[in-house]
Chains A and B, each alone.
Chain A
Amino acid sequence: MKKKLRLIGAVAAAMCILWSCEKDDEDKAVDNDAPVIDLGADAFPVQCSTLKRGETFTFKTKFNDNVELGTYSIDIHHNFDHHSHSTEFEECDLQPKKVPVKPFLFIKSYDIPSGQKTYEAVQQIEVPADIDPGDYHFMISVSDHVGWNTIKGLSIQIVE
């Protein structure tokens, strides 16, 4: 009887040790922080920005990561049907819903030189002259070296 209790005690102690082990693991720091898209004063476009068709604009955004940035991508697609929402707090005035004829579609991914903790992305993007003006989404996606990812979905407008 006593033996059994002792055995139970021993196993309970073993389990407790197992339990407490968890705390030590915190030292084995893995990167748990996602990169940051910094839409600061220099950034363009930002929420509710306007682009002109037939013109080239400069995309400019700062990315930060605690360890190392990975890659980023830009996706510009129409939101004429108001299908989805931006990820931002601020609401923009939307134009009435309409059926797309020749909406602008821009999808591209870019590398970031390795070893960067901060990076200022600058790209010249041309908006063709023959595309539909209206409400668009400007999606920015940036990852870090282990696959944490941050997305910003901005509402923008393309005007004549």
Chain B
Amino acid sequence: MKYSIIGLFSLLLITCSYAQEKEFTLSGVITDVDGKTLPNVSIVIATIGHSSKSDYTGKFSIAGLPRGKHVVALSHVGYIPETRTITMENTPTDLGTIVLRKTNYAIKQVDVLGDIYATTPTGGLNKELVDQQYIHRHLGGSLMQTLSRLPGISNIGIGSGQSKPLIRGLGFNRVVVVEKGIKHEGQQWGADHGLEIDQFATGNIEVIKGAASFLYGSDAIGGVIDIKPEPLSEKESLSGSLNLIGKSNNSLYGLSANLQGRTGRWIYGGRVSYQRYGDYGVPTDTVHVYDYPVLLHKQKARNTAGKERNFHVNGGYATENFQSVFYFSNNSAQSGFFANAHGLEPRRVDTELHDASSRDMQMPYQRVNHLKVINRSSLKIGFHRIEMEAGFQHNFRQEYSPYVNHGYMPPVYPDSMKMPSNLEREYDKRIYSLNLRDRFSVGKHTFIAGINGEYQHNQIDGWSFLIPGFNQRSAGAFLYDRYRLSEKVSLHGALRYDYSHIETVRYMDWFPSVVSEENGVTETAYLVRANDLQRTFNSLVWSLGTTYDEGDFSIKANVGKSFRVPIAKELAANGVNYHYFSYERGDPALSPEQSYQFDAGLRYSKEKLCVELNPFYNYFTNYIYLNPTPRHDHFYGAGNQIFEYTQSRVLRYGGEIKIGYRFSEVWSAELLAEYVKAEQLSGSKKGYPLPFSPPASFLANMSWQPNRGFLKDSYFSVDLRLAAAQNAIVPPEKKTPGYKLVNVQAGHSLMIYGRPIQINLQVQNFFNTRYLNHTSFYRLIEMPEAGRNVVLSLSLPLNFKNKQMI
């Protein structure tokens, strides 16, 4: 197999033509329907893969093109992409004025960029593109909750402000989140950990649904969420914006303000965001933790309040061919856990203390700080575009809970302990990353060659133990090739090699446990929970795809192999998770997860109708997961059920359907459906699905955008979501009944003193429906999801000129 792929690559390379010809220049100006010039429009010479952008006057000029026929693709978020076939015979060739029309969709839920013109070389993979406007219209408690409206995307959430992505049912370390080109590294393995990302500070977001290891390396086996930075100022300016947000359900208030500008070639910007929220409301008075009824005070999930403070600064230097920007950001958050249960363990609660205020955070709570410093640089030399991202991240996470002696821990917390008695867990992680890429075209080939490297240093602290500290280094190299067979057909191929090395740090319990009981004699010892384990992994993965594009119809297909290196928890866990009544045991002999995936995409778009089908088929030779066994362990496991990391063969398939229809200028409808099925084909859970499988769901949307008179720049839209029951479960999950949910969104752009103020209003869970979310952390203790939530957000653009407001 390996040789045939290498052979194919050589063949692709050999077919390159190196003929040197006279170079031509192409130019033009891009405007919208009203004649306003459009800056920042992406212009891709699809035939050779060369790309450029229009400047702030809407003009563009691309030099150095070879003679002959070219396909020029113009795309801009919110506008219908435009493709033109031109013949270069004279230089310069001026295309004149090109008018881009706004997209038909009232709700620009998905930008309709053809995949071949996308910014990342995802070949035939399926993806969604989301812009800031979409985020403001569908703003959820966290970025992943906002994105979970997209078909195929759901989230694993805890409380109202924390969640992590789930793409087609795969999550945790199987989804890579990339921010500003650097892989975001937090504590992805934990279901109660959120994603440390400020949803106000994002540019466009690209979601790749499906394995993309060939580009992003290990972990991208389930998909990728690629968060681009906010666009930089294009001209001499100083501008900013102020966003205000309020939510009724958890009495949230928040604001985010930014300022950015450009002086000559220097660009700079900054943003602050703040959010503070109280306990979230659920449409019930009582929650049952096992058989014990927990009475809720004013229908609020006790102690789920939180706050979030984010701070960003960036600055850099940009010319037409060179750009280097530094991004600094710090994200800090604190949020409480539901006080009546810590994990699955029912807790006795001092209701007087907890119910005194719905905004305070008592124990148990978590505190996370994530610091990032990133440099993104790019340099254009001829047809080469060299890109570099270097990053440092520091993720510091603490979980506080009063000391409770579990298992063999001493009944009273010893005074001699150095760590505080209420610090249950601490994870301190430092990550150094580097990416280098060169995009270049040779004949009809567009290549991207790149290397990635990462070093992680992880330390742990706290009186409870789950995973050991570890150090990990990894490096990868890839080559991607897009070969344009004809105007309509492109072939994509990629090959990648990765190396990874992990070393876990020895951990010994701070208290003695009973290790044997023979003839009435009890022996105790300080247990070694983790040893100095060392593992090295090597992987070779590949991807092959094709795209066929014929005007209003396009088809794509991709097949590829992906991998994921086992994480420290899977290799070296050996501790009791008292909150789950489980003794979790890693397997140091696990091999890297390997998966083969086939993706297809069919798209038809003409005038009023747009139909998209995205089926996928996926096979894992060894899916690693935490398998609950029938056994209990009363020595190392302190009497708890043994959960072992195991690998099994897994088959997954499913897909998404999107249908958009525009009835008239003002009315439009949208139907989204998603389905995923997973089955284990071997091992002790043969016949069972995978945990956290999202149920089939269907979303129907109706939008009204009157676009005239007072209601110009207004929209009103209703989402009806139908989720099927999830009866495909694996221990220790519970079956989840289906539900119907109605969300309403409306917005209006108001002109005040000549400045447009955007008002967005949402009512989430309009009918205050009591329902359970199968992928929620609190599902196992039967906690229903948040009740009705009115979300109001205001966005005020600020423009300064010569430091004066206009």
Chain A residues whose C-beta falls within 8 Å of the C-beta of B165 in the assembled complex = none
Interface contact B634-A147, CB-CB below 8 Å? no
Contacts known (A18-B653, A83-B404, A100-B411); A75 close to B639, Cβ less than 8 A: yes
Chain A residues whose C-beta falls within 8 Å of the C-beta of B408 in the assembled complex = 105, 107
Q: How far is the CA of A87 from the CA of B640 in the complex (A)?
A: 16
Contacts known (A73-B632, A109-B634); A99 close to B291, Cβ less than 8 A: no
Interface contact B630-A147, CB-CB below 8 Å? yes
Chain A residues whose C-beta falls within 8 Å of the C-beta of B602 in the assembled complex = 7-8, 11
For residue A34, which residue of chain B has the nearest CB? B731
Interface contact B630-A70, CB-CB below 8 Å? yes
Interface contact B292-A4, CB-CB below 8 Å? no
Interface contact B735-A71, CB-CB below 8 Å? no
Q: How far is the CA of A152 from the CA of B632 in the complex (A)?
A: 15
Across the interface, A149 reaches (CB within 8 A) one of B406, B613, B628, namely B628
Interface contact B688-A149, CB-CB below 8 Å? no
For residue A86, which residue of chain B has the nearest CB? B292
Interface contact B632-A147, CB-CB below 8 Å? no
Shortest distance between the CB of A108 and any CB in chain B (Å): 5
Chain A residues whose C-beta falls within 8 Å of the C-beta of B735 in the assembled complex = 32
Chain B residues whose C-beta falls within 8 Å of the C-beta of A34 in the assembled complex = 731
Chain B residues whose C-beta falls within 8 Å of the C-beta of A22 in the assembled complex = 677, 696
Q: How far is the CA of A83 from the CA of B412 in the complex (A)?
A: 13
Chain A residues whose C-beta falls within 8 Å of the C-beta of B404 in the assembled complex = 81, 83-84
Interface contact A70-B611, CB-CB below 8 Å? no
Across the interface, B630 reaches (CB within 8 A) one of A86, A110, A143, namely A143
A74 on the interface (CB 8 Å rule)? yes
Q: Interface code B613-643, partner A: CB below 8 Å = 1, 0 otherwise?
A: 1010000000000011111111001111100
Give the number of chain B interface residues (Cβ < 8 Å).
Answer: 59
A45 on the interface (CB 8 Å rule)? no
Chain B residues whose C-beta falls within 8 Å of the C-beta of A4 in the assembled complex = 553, 604
A12 on the interface (CB 8 Å rule)? yes
Interface contact B630-A89, CB-CB below 8 Å? no
Chain A residues whose C-beta falls within 8 Å of the C-beta of B289 in the assembled complex = 85, 87
Chain A residues whose C-beta falls within 8 Å of the C-beta of B657 in the assembled complex = 12, 15
Interface contact B731-A146, CB-CB below 8 Å? yes
Interface contact A149-B581, CB-CB below 8 Å? yes
Contacts known (A82-B348, A146-B684, A146-B731); A108 close to B292, Cβ less than 8 A: no
Chain A residues whose C-beta falls within 8 Å of the C-beta of B613 in the assembled complex = 8, 11-12, 15
Interface contact B412-A11, CB-CB below 8 Å? no
For residue A83, which residue of chain B has the nearest CB? B404
A60 on the interface (CB 8 Å rule)? no
Interface contact A8-B604, CB-CB below 8 Å? yes
Interface contact A108-B639, CB-CB below 8 Å? yes
Q: How far is the CA of A12 from the CA of B654 in the complex (A)?
A: 12
Interface residues of B in 524-555 (CB under 8 A from A): 553, 555
Q: How far is the CA of A28 from the CA of B345 in the complex (A)?
A: 33
Main secondary structure of the interface of A (DSSP, over half): mixed
Interface contact A72-B632, CB-CB below 8 Å? yes
B347 on the interface (CB 8 Å rule)? yes
Interface residues of A in 107-160 (CB under 8 A from B): 107-110, 139, 141, 143-149, 151, 153
Interface contact B346-A89, CB-CB below 8 Å? no
A88 on the interface (CB 8 Å rule)? yes
Q: How far is the CA of A72 from the CA of B407 in the complex (A)?
A: 16
Chain B residues whose C-beta falls within 8 Å of the C-beta of A153 in the assembled complex = 290, 346
Interface centre among B293, B630, B677, B727 (most CB of A within 10 A): B630
Contacts known (A70-B631, A107-B639); A148 close to B732, Cβ less than 8 A: yes
Q: How far is the CA of A18 from the CA of B630 in the complex (A)?
A: 34
Interface contact A88-B630, CB-CB below 8 Å? no
Chain A residues whose C-beta falls within 8 Å of the C-beta of B60 in the assembled complex = none
Chain A residues whose C-beta falls within 8 Å of the C-beta of B727 in the assembled complex = 32
Chain B residues whose C-beta falls within 8 Å of the C-beta of A144 in the assembled complex = 630
Shortest distance between the CB of B555 and any CB in chain A (Å): 8
Across the interface, B732 reaches (CB within 8 A) one of A71, A83, A149, namely A149
Shortest distance between the CB of A157 and any CB in chain B (Å): 16
B675 on the interface (CB 8 Å rule)? yes
Q: How far is the CA of A143 from the CA of B731 in the complex (A)?
A: 10
Shortest distance between the CB of A135 and any CB in chain B (Å): 11
Interface centre among A25, A30, A139, A144 (most CB of B within 10 A): A30
Q: How far is the CA of A18 from the CA of B654 in the complex (A)?
A: 8
Interface contact B630-A146, CB-CB below 8 Å? yes
Interface contact B411-A103, CB-CB below 8 Å? yes
Chain B residues whose C-beta falls within 8 Å of the C-beta of A82 in the assembled complex = 348
Q: How far is the CA of A98 from the CA of B347 in the complex (A)?
A: 17
Shortest distance between the CB of B781 and any CB in chain A (Å): 11
B687 on the interface (CB 8 Å rule)? yes
Q: How far is the CA of A72 from the CA of B631 in the complex (A)?
A: 8
Chain B residues whose C-beta falls within 8 Å of the C-beta of A145 in the assembled complex = 630
Shortest distance between the CB of A87 and any CB in chain B (Å): 3
For residue B612, which residue of chain A has the nearest CB? A8
Interface residues of B in 316-375 (CB under 8 A from A): 340, 345-348
Shortest distance between the CB of B619 and any CB in chain A (Å): 15
For residue B410, which residue of chain A has the nearest CB? A100
Chain A residues whose C-beta falls within 8 Å of the C-beta of B653 in the assembled complex = 18
Shortest distance between the CB of B673 and any CB in chain A (Å): 9
Q: Interface code A16-33, partner B: CB below 8 Å = 1, 0 otherwise?
A: 001101100100101010
Shortest distance between the CB of B647 and any CB in chain A (Å): 16
Interface residues of B in 217-237 (CB under 8 A from A): none
Chain A residues whose C-beta falls within 8 Å of the C-beta of B654 in the assembled complex = 18
Chain B residues whose C-beta falls within 8 Å of the C-beta of A110 in the assembled complex = 632
Shortest distance between the CB of B152 and any CB in chain A (Å): 13
Interface contact B348-A84, CB-CB below 8 Å? yes
A62 on the interface (CB 8 Å rule)? no
For residue B407, which residue of chain A has the nearest CB? A107
A77 on the interface (CB 8 Å rule)? yes
Interface contact B293-A28, CB-CB below 8 Å? no
Chain A residues whose C-beta falls within 8 Å of the C-beta of B600 in the assembled complex = 11
Across the interface, B346 reaches (CB within 8 A) one of A8, A32, A70, A87, namely A87
Q: How far is the CA of A85 from the CA of B781 in the complex (A)?
A: 14
Shortest distance between the CB of B413 and any CB in chain A (Å): 11
Contacts known (A11-B615, A107-B407); A141 close to B632, Cβ less than 8 A: yes
Shortest distance between the CB of B405 and any CB in chain A (Å): 7
Interface centre among B290, B347, B615, B732 (most CB of A within 10 A): B290
Chain B residues whose C-beta falls within 8 Å of the C-beta of A15 in the assembled complex = 613, 615, 655, 657
Chain B residues whose C-beta falls within 8 Å of the C-beta of A105 in the assembled complex = 408
Across the interface, A71 reaches (CB within 8 A) one of B604, B632, B685, namely B632
Q: How far is the CA of A83 from the CA of B685 in the complex (A)?
A: 35
Q: How far is the CA of A8 from the CA of B611 in the complex (A)?
A: 9
Contacts known (A75-B639, A100-B412, A109-B632); A85 close to B348, Cβ less than 8 A: yes
Interface contact B581-A19, CB-CB below 8 Å? no
Interface centre among B412, B685, B727 (most CB of A within 10 A): B412
The 4 nearest A-B residue pairs measured at CB: A70-B630, A87-B290, A147-B628, A109-B632
Give 22 pairs: A residue, B residue, CB < 8 Å, sorted on A: A15-B655, A19-B696, A21-B677, A25-B728, A32-B729, A32-B735, A70-B630, A73-B634, A80-B411, A83-B404, A84-B345, A84-B404, A85-B289, A86-B292, A87-B291, A107-B407, A107-B634, A110-B632, A148-B628, A149-B581, A151-B290, A153-B290
- 4 other contacts beyond A82-B348, A88-B291, with CB at 8 A cut-off? A7-B555, A18-B615, A84-B346, A147-B685
